[in-house]
Amino acid sequence: MLSFIARRVLATLPVLAVVAVLVFLLLRLTPGDPAAILAGDAASASQVAQIRESLGLEEPIPVQFGIWLRHLAAGDLGESYYYKVKVTELIAQRLEPTLSLATLTIVFAVLVSVPLGALAAWRFGGAFDRALMGFSVLGFSVPVFVLAYILIWIVSLKLGWLPVQGYQRLAGGVGPWLRHLILPSLTLSVIFIALIARVTRAAVLEALGEDYIRTARAKGLPESRVLVRHAVANAAVPIVTVIGIGIALLVGGVVVTESVYAIPGLGRLTVDAVLARDFPTIQGVILFFSLLYVGVNLLVDLSYVFLDPRIRY
């Protein structure tokens, strides 16, 4: 087990290195000058050139990459061009809203989707099964920002139940924190409920056709126990896999959702950094998300050993 963990961790290093190189080159080879954006429309050419020199943008790209790589090895992601603070500090400041939104979303999605998918498989071909399949298609079809504006209009503007936008930190109280996250989490969780429920239905439906299910029923076990202890338990590997994929997909959903609901998290920071051509901040956020994605995949791989004893590495 330890050797497998070590191999998996070492295998992530080349992936992160490739991501770092691609992000660095892609940002600097695309049109746009961060110095001109920082200087403003009224700045002269000499002022823009002075800003470029102060930012080190006049250096050749290989030199810029070498400097950035040396700082990265020391744990320094550089200083934000736009915010004038360390990128690590900037990420730490914006981390709580994003983690809060992502955690609440994935927990809610899993708690709702897994039972729905299992019940749909149990009632295969019935009205509940068809309704869930229709919801899955709808959940995949409606864009996140469209659903967000619909929920804002109904829940916040018409009914006045929840705040329209903004975020309240957890230190200010659980109640206000939760009130500001319910609507964004509900918006973001719809697509994940559709995804996880559909895969859960397929996996449980396949498990229900196995011989051990017929044996369990022949022994007189209650249907609820057959479904939970035998069917769902043996379908756990694909369910956990799709949950891991859903956590990775949260990256894109968080960017849109935080922008719509004005949540000051990493998604909103990414959008602002891209608009400002803030190279260090964009690189730092992408590397952070890449590390998170690799970590989730590693945990999913490790979970297979505990979920299915037949799997050995």
pLDDT in tens, 171-193: 888 888 999 999 999 988 988 89
- Looking at 39, 73, 107, the residue that finishes a domain is 73
Do both 206 and 239 map to the same domain?
yes
Number of domains in the chain: 2
- Predicted TM-score (pTM) of this structure: 0.81
Do both 148 and 55 map to the same domain?
no
Do both 193 and 59 map to the same domain?
no
Cβ neighbors of 8 (< 8 A, separation 6 or more) are 298, 301, 302
Do both 114 and 64 map to the same domain?
no
Cβ neighbors of 167 (< 8 A, separation 6 or more) are 97, 180, 181, 261, 262, 263, 264, 265
Sign of dihedral through CA atoms 139, 140, 141, 145? positive
Do both 25 and 115 map to the same domain?
no
Position 111 scores a pLDDT of 92
Q: Mean of the pLDDT values across residues 188-207?
A: 89
Position 32 scores a pLDDT of 66
User: CB–CB of 108/120 below 8 Å?
Assistant: no
Of 103-107, 137-141, 240-244, the range with the lowest mean pLDDT is 137-141
The mean pLDDT value of the chain amounts to 82
- The tally of CA atoms less than 13 A away on the side-chain side of residue 205 is 14
Cα three-residue angle 230-109-96, rounded to 5 degrees: 130
Sign of dihedral through CA atoms 134, 140, 142, 147? positive
Do both 177 and 49 map to the same domain?
no
Q: Which range of residues forms the domain containing residue 259? A: 94-307
Q: Is residue 68 part of a domain?
A: yes
Do both 160 and 263 map to the same domain?
yes
Q: Is residue 246 part of a domain?
A: yes
Q: Is residue 85 part of a domain?
A: no
Q: Is residue 57 part of a domain?
A: yes
In this structure, which amino acid lies at residue 235? A
Q: Express each pLDDT in 215-230 by its tens digit.
A: 888 888 887 788 888 8
Position 1 scores a pLDDT of 63
Q: Express each pLDDT in 138-176 by its tens digit.
A: 887 888 888 888 989 998 888 888 888 888 888 888 888
- Could you give the percent of the chain with pLDDT greater than 70? 90
Phi then psi for 86, rounded to 5 degrees? -65, 140
Position 249 scores a pLDDT of 74
Q: Express each pLDDT in 128-141 by its tens digit.
A: 888 888 888 888 78
Per-residue confidence band for 27, with pLDDT thresholds at 50, 70 and 90: low
Q: Mean of the pLDDT values across residues 14-36?
A: 74
d(CA 19, CA 155): 40
Q: Is residue 81 part of a domain?
A: no
Q: Evaluate if residue 89 carries a pLDDT over 80.
A: yes
Q: Is residue 80 part of a domain?
A: no
Do both 226 and 124 map to the same domain?
yes
Per 3-state DSSP, what percentage of the chain is helix, strand, and coil (rounded to 5)? 80, 0, 20
Per-residue confidence band for 252, with pLDDT thresholds at 50, 70 and 90: low
Position 170 scores a pLDDT of 85
In this structure, which amino acid lies at residue 277? R
Using a 10 angstrom Cβ sphere, with 0-12 exposed, 13-18 middle and 19 or more buried, the burial of residue 204 is buried
Select from 91, 83, 144, 103 the least CA-distant residue to 286.
91
